[in-house]
Every structure is written in C-alpha cells, then in structure tokens.
Amino acid sequence: MKILFRKTREIEAQIEEYLDLIDRAALVFVQGLRFYFEKRMDEFEQRYNDLRTMESHGDSLRREIENKLYVHTLIPESRGDVLGLLESSDEVLNRLAKTLLNFSIENPDITEDLRPLYLDLAQASSSAVESMVKAVRIYFRELESVRDYINKAQFYEKESDKIAEKIKRLVFGKDRELSWKNHLRVFAHHIELIADDAEDVCDRLAIATAKRYE
C-alpha cells in the first residue's frame, strides 16, 4: 500500500489484516456448507461460529481504521473512497456470516442431487469475493492492475447467476410442495447475493480508481 500510506505502517497492516479476514471468511463459508451437506453438523456449527467471530473482529478492525483515517487526517483526497470501500466490503463479510446463520436456523432440506450445484454456487461466490479482495488490495499498490481483478470478480458474479438460475429451474421442475421450492429458491438467492455484494464493491472500486487517474 505504498501509494496511499507512505506515512503509517500501522494502518497499512490493519487494512491488510481486514482484507485477509474477508478472504478467509469466504473459504470458511464454503467449508461450512460442505460440512452441512455431509451432515457433519458439529463441524458446520463450528464454521458458523468461526464466521461470527470473524465478522465481529472485522467490525472492530474497520472502526479502528476509519477512526485513524479521520483523527490523523490521512489521505484527505481519497479518504471518502477508502471509507466507502471498507464499508461495502464489510457488507460482504456480514453476508457470509448471515447466510450460514440462515442455514443453521432454517435447516433447508436440500436434496442430494442438488447439493453439488449449491456447492458450485458457493464456490463461484467465494471466488468473486477472492477476486474482489485482490482488487481492493491492488488498489493501494498497483493501480493499473485493478481492472484485471475487477473483471475476474464480475466473471464469477455472472457464473453465480447462471448456477443460481439452474438450481431454481431444477427445483421448480420437481414434483414437490411449493413451500419446499420457495425455501430452496431463497437459499440459492442468499448465496448468489454474496457474489452480488462483491461486485458492488468492485463497482465502487472502479469509480475510485478512475478518480485516482484524474
């Protein structure tokens, strides 16, 4: 982060830690879903608890970073963009934790034939988050490479849309009660929204990058 944070290594390290946290959370999310489908519920609940801890730590870390940016009047010309990126990235972290919470509470009955598709959807959304994190990280270091990672995040977001649509068509093609179909549709949508949130961060990032070139 040498471009924006020449004056303080502490805030640089905290932003790196924050981004690492989101990156790990996406991996924990996929692992948690895998345990859910394998009916390893103790391990699933542990992953959910891990995500809750990450979410709480992420909130605290984000507030510390925001406070330092204000108190020390760092990067005044880009501070608003950085704060916006941190806050929208926090939405991704919250969504990951909230989605596993919904699985924990509602216990959706996802049939065995659909589980691989749900895992594919989770992996696509996780990959969108991973690319988003790389795009934000590179924004502070190598501005000309940001677009590459934004494009990757957008690719995975579109993949998640395709997989979610496939799941919904298969679900509603089954001879099951409408309540079951709607329940599974909602959970596909929950996972799909993770990639949507990651894309929203990248949309904000594209604007911030363009402003840095002005």
Largest CA-CA distance found in the chain, in angstroms, rounded? 63
Q: Read off the pLDDT of residues 167-182 as tens digits, 9 standing for 90 and up.
A: 999 999 999 999 999 9
| Residue 184 clears pLDDT 60, i.e. is over it | yes
Pairwise CA distance, residues 110 & 40, whole Å: 15
Number of structural domains in the chain: 1
Residue 78 has pLDDT above 70, yes or no: no
pLDDT higher than threshold 60 for residue 4? no
φ, ψ dihedrals at 159, nearest 5°: -60, -40
Please report whether residue 137 resides in a domain.
Answer: yes
Residue 121 has pLDDT above 90, yes or no: yes
104 lies in some domain: yes
In a domain, 100, yes or no: yes
Write down the pLDDT at residue 1: 46
CATH for 117? 1.20.58.220
Average pLDDT, the chain: 91
Whether residue 114 has pLDDT greater than 70: yes
Rounded to 5°, the CA angle 118-122-124 comes to: 115
**Using CA of residue 201, residue 88, residue 196, residue 129, what is the dihedral sign?**
positive
Three-state DSSP at 138 gives helix
Residue 75 pLDDT: 55
Distance (Å, whole) CA 88 – CA 197: 8
Residue with tokens 């040498």: 2
Give the Cα separation of 24 and 17 in Å (integer). 10
Residue 151 lies in a domain: yes
pLDDT of residue 2: 46
In a domain, 85, yes or no: yes
Residue 211 predicted with pLDDT over 90:
no
Report residue 76 CA to chain centroid gap.
27
Question: Is pLDDT of 132 > 80?
Answer: yes
- Cβ neighbour number for residue 194 with a 10 Å cutoff: 26
Q: What confidence tier does 80 reach under pLDDT thresholds 50, 70, 90? A: confident
Residue 2 covered by a domain: no
- Alpha-carbon span 156 to 41, nearest angstrom: 28
Position 62 scores a pLDDT of 92
pLDDT score, position 213: 61
Per-residue tokens: 118 = 């749900």
By the 10 Å C-beta count (0-12 exposed, 13-18 middle, 19+ buried), 118 is classed as buried
**Top-confidence range, 60-69, 140-149, 200-209:** 200-209
Name the residue range of residue 175's domain. 9-213
Q: Based on DSSP, count helices (H) and strands (E) in the chain, helices before strands.
A: 6, 0
Domain-located, residue 3: no
C-alpha neighbours within 13 Å on the C-beta side of residue 4? 28
Residues 124-147 have a mean pLDDT of: 92
Listed residue (161, 127, 109, 118) closest to 32, CA to CA: 118
Stretch 10-25: mean pLDDT: 91
Domain-embedded: residue 69? yes
